[in-house]
Amino acid sequence: MAHALELACGHRPLTYPGSSRTADPTRAIPDLAATVRAVVSGDQAAFARLYADYVRMIHAILLGRVPHRDVDDLVQEVFITAYTRIRELRNAAAFGGWLATIARNRATDYRRQAREPVELPAELPGGDAIESETLAVLDIVRKLPDAYRETLLMRLVEGMTGDEIAARTGLTPGSVRVNLHRGMKMLREQLGVEPAQP
């Protein structure tokens, strides 16, 4: 049966034969509704599967809104909130969008509770030139419109493909493609770089 992760290294390739659940990060949850139902009934292993599949999307959403140093903590808070409130989710197929909304609301609360709520605090690089450049680019991405910002961070930070972004967010692949294209165009403009010629 077909594999889902094959690492041909010039040596004997290792495959995961016959698997529908593998380490392939682009895979979709085979039965999201059943997984959500299992979580509702208290199945923590089922929730761990959801966590594994959606954690990068949530990380990207929060990274676009709160200081880098606090993102990991807030990711965990978002999932704890989702776990305790999952009975409120009426349509299991909307899990990704529902979870994303929790993340956006949590980021809003975070900023509201911050002492200087008007602007996102500037990131403070540790002195490393690459880190400084990374955080400078991140600040520029954060100024893009929400849809472009989130989609670009999922692609450029989290390494998600367009199909995977669509599957997790609930957006259509066409919308994701447009967000990526337009977001990248705006980012290039902000960075002052010309698109590469084909």
Partner 1 sequence: MNDDYLWNRSGPPDPDIHRLEQLLGRLRSVPPLPHLPEADAERPRRRGYGVLLATAAIVLVVAGTCRTMRAPAAWEVASVAGQPRIGSATLARRGRIAVGETLVTDSASQARINVSTIGEVTVDPDTRVRLVATRQGHHQLALERGTLHAVITAPPGQFIVSTRSATATDLGCAYTLHVDEDGTGLLSVTAGWVALTFNGRESLVPAGASSRTHPTLGPGTPWYADADEQFQDAVYELDFGSDAARRAGALHTVLERAEAGHAVTLWHLIRRVDAADRDALVDALADQVAMPAGVTREAVLKLDAAALDQWWNALGLGEAGWWRKFAAPMPGPQQ
Distance in angstroms (rounded) separating the CA atoms of residues 15 and 10: 14
User: What is the nearest approach in angstroms of partner 1 to the Cβ of residue 162?
Assistant: 4
Query: Residues with Cβ < 8 Å from 147, sequence gap 6 or more?
Result: 179, 183
End-to-end C-alpha distance for the chain, whole angstroms: 39
**C-beta separation of 36 from 91 below 8 A:** no
User: What is the nearest approach in angstroms of partner 1 to the Cβ of residue 128?
Assistant: 6
User: What is the nearest approach in angstroms of partner 1 to the Cβ of residue 26?
Assistant: 8
Instruction: For partner 1, give the closer residue by CB, 114 or 138.
Output: 138
User: What is the nearest approach in angstroms of partner 1 to the Cβ of residue 103?
Assistant: 13
Instruction: For partner 1, give the closer residue by CB, 76 or 108.
Output: 76
Closest CA to 46 of 82, 91, 72, 19: 82
Instruction: For partner 1, give the closer residue by CB, 94 or 156.
Output: 156
Instruction: For partner 1, give the closer residue by CB, 33 or 80.
Output: 80
Distance in angstroms (rounded) separating the CA atoms of residues 55 and 143: 23
Amino acid at 31: D
